[in-house]
Amino acid sequence: MNVNNVYLDVVTGRKDQLPDTDFLEIAFAGKSNVGKSSLLNTLINRKSLARTSSKPGKTQTINFYNVEEQLYFVDLPGYGYAKVSKADRERWGRFIEDYLTTRQQLRLVVLLIDIRHEPGKNDVLMYDWIKYQGFEPLIIATKMDKLKRSQIKKHLNVIQKALKMPNQKNIIPFSAVSKQGKDEIWERFDTLLQEYADQHAAMEDEVKEIEE
């Protein structure tokens, strides 16, 4: 997709304030400081549109970025920040769970993992939970520029093993510095967007046939 028109459309912590559209939605999840804002800004060709916080773990909202009036990038609150209270974690968890389990427009969950480190307990729990909800997560292994090229394969193997993935077809290494991985990620999104559009067209044809 050629991205020129992007804006932050909805910021909400309540289900009744979610956007009322049939745009395809792609959600982004990851622990605090994993590079989610950097990924989003790279994908939409902006330097600072995606909201960042100087206090990790303080974001308590779901942010919907409207991309070309065709889809939403949905930025979920980061998880795993130790100083967040148990009550806050539970409240965010319920809100995110409700969104992921009931949102019909949601077709893909992107899970960010820092390529330099083995996935932590929270990463594994999130991955397993996303799969349990019926999604096949796309793993973005962030901060690959922090590694030597010869180290990347080894670290991808660590991620695959920790998440018990059968292969690495759904792991894409990414660097916000070099932009490596950006085109491959967009190829996945464009394919998904086309499938979504085809499904809608087929549904509209069925409605017309019924009406006739």
For 91-146, the pLDDT digits (tens) are 777 888 889 899 999 999 999 999 999 999 999 999 999 999 899 999 999 999 99
User: What is the three-class DSSP state of 8?
Assistant: strand
User: What is the three-class DSSP state of 141?
Assistant: strand
Domain boundaries, the chain: 6-211
Whether residue 86 has pLDDT greater than 80: no
Residue 77 is classified by DSSP as P
Kindly state the helix (H) or strand (E) to which residue 118 belongs, with its residue range.
none
Whether residue 149 has pLDDT greater than 80: yes
CATH 3.40.50.300, applies to 6-211: yes
Asked if 60 and 8 count as a contact pair (C-beta separation under 8 A), the reply is: no
List phi, psi (to 5°) of 147. Answer: -110, 160
Residue 115 to residue 141: CA distance in whole angstroms: 5
Rounded to an integer, the average pLDDT of 59-80 is: 88
Confidence at residue 167, expressed as pLDDT on a 0 to 100 scale: 97
Specify the amino acid at residue 206.
E
Residue 102 to residue 59: CA distance in whole angstroms: 22
**Which percentage of the chain shows pLDDT scores above 70?**
92
List phi, psi (to 5°) of 115. Answer: -60, -20
Confidence at residue 85, expressed as pLDDT on a 0 to 100 scale: 72
- As a whole number, the mean pLDDT across the chain is 89
User: What is the three-class DSSP state of 185?
Assistant: helix
Q: Which residues contact 170 (CB under 8 A, 6 or more apart)?
A: 136, 137, 138, 139
Residues 154-191: pLDDT tens digits? Answer: 999 999 999 999 999 999 999 999 999 999 999 999 99
Confidence at residue 73, expressed as pLDDT on a 0 to 100 scale: 97
Tokens of 76: 């979920």
